[in-house]
Amino acid sequence: MASDLKVTQNQHLQEIIKCGRDPAYFIKTYCYIQHPIRGKIKLETYNFQDDCVKAFEDHRLNIVLKSRQLGLSTICAAYALWMALFFKNKNILVIATKFATAQNFTKKVKYALESLPKWLILPNFEYNQKEVRFDNGSKITAIPTSEDAGRSEALSLLIVDEAAFIKNFEEIWTGLNSTISRGGRAIVLSTPNGAEGQYYHLWQQAEAKQSEFNCIKLPWQVHPEQNQEWFDRETRGMSRRQIAQELNCDFLSSGDTFFQADTLEKLKLKFIYGQIDQYDNDLTRWYKTDINKKYIIGADVARGDSTDYSAFYVLQAPDLKIMAEYKGKCRPDKFAVILAKIGKEYNNALIAIENNNIGYMTCSKLQELQYPRLFYESAKDNVFDYRPMKDNEVPGFVTSIKNRDKMLAKLEDVIRNEILIPTSDKLYKELLTFVWSGSRAESARGANDDLIMSLAIAIYVADMVFGSNHLKSANIASTLIKAMSLSRSPTALANVPKNMAVGYGRSVSNSQYENAISTHRWLLN
């Protein structure tokens, strides 16, 4: 009897050693989960999950771009349990987007822990909604996001779940990064949420091998039980954005981008590297002046500090060919001098400046310089010959809520239909991060839209003054709503039947339709 007990103890000891050396073996041999239908079942891992666990061991820092329904959160919970169980004084922090998600993580850890054989469990552990503590000094804490999350702690392992959807993740990561820089490990995982934000930048750096992060990409096809039939069934009724986000690991199509992903992809092939000119390398020229052509300059004026850029585009009219681009930091008065010089080089180009706020200073300086062709906006008409100001006239272009949307609709239309061919990588970066925020299209947090707005002004005024007329006013409503519908979750389109949103494969209620229309009522009038 004693001999049998000794054998058993030896077997247990060998198993404990084996589990401690191999987390993948521990997880697939001894971890259980609570299945919603089948109840308590063993966590039978797939090859791609085993590969992830191996990567977690082989690399200190891992970033995972994943499809949903791959069980990665469960694998991470089991991996965290393994580390806390077999190593002393490990501080493991899990950050989730919501409290419920964090709480679910600790529940998974607790269930797996309580399902282990008694000889594998540490004698004592403490559990509450956000934390599991072990008597070996290790602990697993799961919390929702906050800017000071984990800032003061030295972490053994950091797990960030759905990192792309964490607000202010850039600020949070700054604090977290210092806590793991002392030798801690990190697993940052998420489905994509557009080509912007801290998670996207971390992934781009890792993919380009410009950081310590090992990148792991897991689209829906990695799961052996998910075939085309499964994909077709799952995507029925989903928008293009939802498919990109939930299943395809596609950054470009997943976000609330204003410009369509396929349009932006095509732009990559059209870049022309122009000549970098004077003014601190902020001016790029693609084509020289043709004395027989007319030109227009659309300009967006910044304060001249570290947070904003002044920008302008030189377009040939009426065909909207991009001749030159400027984006730099300078005072409004210096910006006027640059505009005047470039304008004169392009046959005294018509200069249209957004004169909201600080732009008025640039307009006034151009008047002082007696630039011969300024765009004037007045109550009666649009005048573009230089003359002294009158009480009812202001040089420049006033951007309002109403005409801003019209300008952007025109810009989206001429780019999508390749009437205007953007050739600038600077502009491309801005287009990627120009997103819907509620019912307003604007640059994402931490991004700029200076080139976008200066180009939109140039195109809008070109249509007004030179008769380019590439986008009829009757099409503006459908263009804007189409841009919104193709990049966001399903909404009714203005130009389709009320009972069906084309491209999404599911019905839209009359109330949804009316809400979509009322939001942009002014466009339809």
**294 & 181 share domain:** no
Q: Are residues 456 and 318 in the same domain?
A: yes
For residue 225, tell me if it sits in a domain: yes
Residues 193 and 320 in one domain: no
Least confident of 198-212, 372-386, 468-482: 468-482
Look up the CATH number of the domain holding residue 186.
Answer: 3.40.50.300
Least confident of 78-87, 124-133, 241-250, 267-276: 267-276
- Considering only residues 445 and 406, tell me which one the structure prediction assigns the higher pLDDT: 406
Q: How far is CA 207 from CA 210, 214, 357, in A?
A: 8, 8, 42
pLDDT band at 316 (very low <50, low <70, confident <90, very high): very high
At residue 448, the pLDDT reads: 85
Q: Token pair 């940052």 is at which residue?
A: 188
Percent of the chain surpassing pLDDT 90 = 30
- Mean pLDDT for 464-473 is 60
Domain match, 510 and 378 both: no
User: Given a cut of 90, is residue 274 above it in pLDDT?
Assistant: no
Same domain membership, residue 214 and residue 299? no
Which residues, in sequence order, are CB contacts of 388 under 8 Å at separation 6+?
A: none
**pLDDT of 502 strictly over 90:** no
User: Where a domain ends, among 228, 255, 282?
Assistant: 255
Which of 481, 51, 486 has the alpha carbon at shortest distance from 244?
486
Same domain membership, residue 283 and residue 246 = no
Residue that terminates a domain, selected from 255, 285, 320: 255
**Domain end marker among 461, 479, 497:** 479
- Percent of the chain topping pLDDT 70: 76
Tell me the C-alpha distance between 354 and 370, whole Å.
Answer: 18
519: containing domain: 489-525
Please tell me the predicted confidence (pLDDT) of residue 482.
Answer: 52
Task: Verify that 470 and 496 share a domain, yes or no.
Answer: no
Average pLDDT estimate for 66-80: 92
The confidence score (pLDDT) of residue 145 equals 79
- Is pLDDT above 50 for 497? no
518 pLDDT more than 50: no
**Mean of the per-residue pLDDT values for the chain?**
78
- The reply to whether 342 falls in a domain is yes
Residues 275 and 160 in one domain: no
Residue 90 lies in a domain: yes
Q: How many domains does one find in the chain?
A: 3
Contacts 24+ apart (CB under 8 A), 375-379: 375/350, 375/351, 375/461, 375/465
- pLDDT 10s digits, 322-355: 999 999 988 899 999 999 999 999 999 999 998 7
Q: Is the pLDDT of residue 238 over 80?
A: no
Residue entry with tokens 């950081």: 211
* Residue 523 pLDDT > 70: no
**Is 17 part of any domain?**
yes
Nearest by Cα to 430 from 419, 417, 415: 415
Q: Span 308-320, mean pLDDT?
A: 91
**60 and 194 in a common domain:** yes
Band the pLDDT of 165: cuts 50, 70, 90.
confident
What are the distances in angstroms from CA 307 to CA 174, 181, 310, 328, 329? 19, 29, 11, 11, 9
516 shares a domain with 424: no
Residue 276: predicted pLDDT: 63
Residue 152: is its pLDDT beyond 60? no
Same domain, 278 and 408: yes
Greater model confidence, 245 or 310: 310
Residue 67 domain flag: yes
| Side chain identity at residue 443, one-letter code | S
Q: Check residue 457 and give its pLDDT.
A: 92
Tell me: do 521 and 444 sit in the same domain.
Answer: no
pLDDT at 471: 47
Is there a domain that residue 439 lies in?
yes
Mean per-residue pLDDT, 199-223: 90
249 Rama sector, left if φ>0, alpha if ψ -120 to 50, beta otherwise: left
Q: CATH number for the domain including 337?
A: 3.30.420.240
pLDDT band at 148 (very low <50, low <70, confident <90, very high): low
pLDDT in the model for residue 273: 66
378 vs 189, more confident = 189
Q: Is residue 484 part of a domain?
A: no
